[in-house]
Chain A
Amino acid sequence: MEGNIENAAKALSLGLATAFGAIGPGIGVGYLMGKTVEAVGRQPELRGELTSLMFLGLALTEAIVFYALLMGFVAFFIA
């Protein structure tokens, strides 16, 4: 019984960590892309610059998912 609860807790923690960790960055990335498209619509000649900035912001925002995923992995494999 105790072994089952431990495995269940580990699986649950990994799943919940990934699920909750993906909410914020999902909203953030969508907002970022929308703002980039809007800015390119205003000034199409800045498309290259804005694309470069978009990739920078994209990677910074995506990293937040991986912080949460990492904690899930720690809970699953280490704890």
Chain B
Amino acid sequence: MSSRALWRRALGLAVVALLALPAVAAAAEVFDPSLEFKLEPYVSIELGPLDLSINKAVVYLILSSLICIGVGLFVVRGGLRMRPTGAQNVVELAYEFTERQIARPTLTDRVYARYFPYVATLFLFIAVNNIISFVPLPMGYERGTFPFGIRDFGLYAATANINVTLTLTIVTFALTQIEGVKAHGPLGYLKTFIPNAPGFIKPLIFVIEVLSQLLRLVSLSVRLFANLLAGHLLVIMAAGFMVLLGNFAGLLAIPVGVFFWVFEWLLIAGLQAFIFAMLSGIYIGYAVQESH
């Protein structure tokens, strides 16, 4: 086996070992995977009633923002070349993907120029957040396995927090309504909720349309939040079962955990980001379209 493949295997083994460590550390106490999602402030910043403390979610958000900004600065602005390097290939791939698959089919012509950056940013930011969430970082709940007070390695996603996803959803919702009112005028926008139906059904369908618009707030945020939360809980519970179930059954939990981890990391992380960005584009494009 080449040395590269050997390094990759060693890395994979290290990841599996690190994932199993939290369960080992918590074996002496109660196994409660919800503790991984408890946010304790690392640096407490309280301005009166506002709690701006830096906790685990804030650190993850800062990390993903730094990655996105770093890619933008050092790859795109740093100098795009005619013969692309590896990083530039990835960035070009991302750009082509967001343009062809997300922005072009969903945004209409009048809003395309303004909202393509928004939709692409949504996709990249959420994708980076989801992808780094499956890398074990030393911000777990327990302490004591490592020296110098470094916490255990654990998995956490900033987007597994309803606050983050709800914020992104509220931005999308606000932009949808603003663009709709700008395109049709306030009364005209309300008129687009009224369908071509027999007169007596019109008020009912109008109410249903308004309710479904409001329900978009719930569905868009909860879809991303619950997908990430459930994925993480599955992996953490599989890691816990490795220790809790004892000898043979615990060994059976290892491929289950690995399967969930790989499935989530490769498929669900990017897919949920794609879905969020695409639905945002669809909502904005639908709000400004002329026909009905």
Interface residues of A (CB under 8 A from B): 52, 55-56, 58-60, 62-63, 66-67, 69-70, 73, 77
Known contacts A52-B101, A66-B227, A69-B230; is A59 also within 8 Å of B222 by CB?
no
B34 close to A63 (CB less than 8 A) = no
Answer yes or no: B272 CB below 8 A from chain A CBs. Answer: yes
Answer yes or no: B150 CB below 8 A from chain A CBs. Answer: no
B272 close to A77 (CB less than 8 A) = no
The interface size of chain B toward A, counting residues with CB under 8 Å, comes to 15
Main secondary structure of the interface of B (DSSP, over half): helix
Please give the distance in Å from A29's CB to the nearest CB on chain B. 13
A69 close to B275 (CB less than 8 A) = no
B271 CB contacts on chain A under 8 angstroms: 55, 58-59
Main secondary structure of the interface of A (DSSP, over half): helix
Which residue of A is nearest B224, CB measured? Answer: A63
B275 close to A67 (CB less than 8 A) = no
In the assembled complex, the Cα of A52 lies from the Cα of B227 at a distance in Å of 20
B219 CB contacts on chain A under 8 angstroms: 63, 67
Known contacts A66-B223, A69-B226; is A60 also within 8 Å of B275 by CB?
yes
Partner of B223, one of A56, A63, A73, A77: A63
In the assembled complex, the Cα of A3 lies from the Cα of B275 at a distance in Å of 42
Known contacts A67-B222, A70-B222, A77-B34; is A56 also within 8 Å of B230 by CB?
no
B230 CB contacts on chain A under 8 angstroms: 66, 69
B227 CB contacts on chain A under 8 angstroms: 62-63, 66
In the assembled complex, the Cα of A66 lies from the Cα of B222 at a distance in Å of 8
A59 close to B226 (CB less than 8 A) = no
In the assembled complex, the Cα of A43 lies from the Cα of B106 at a distance in Å of 23
A66 close to B226 (CB less than 8 A) = yes
In the assembled complex, the Cα of A62 lies from the Cα of B263 at a distance in Å of 14
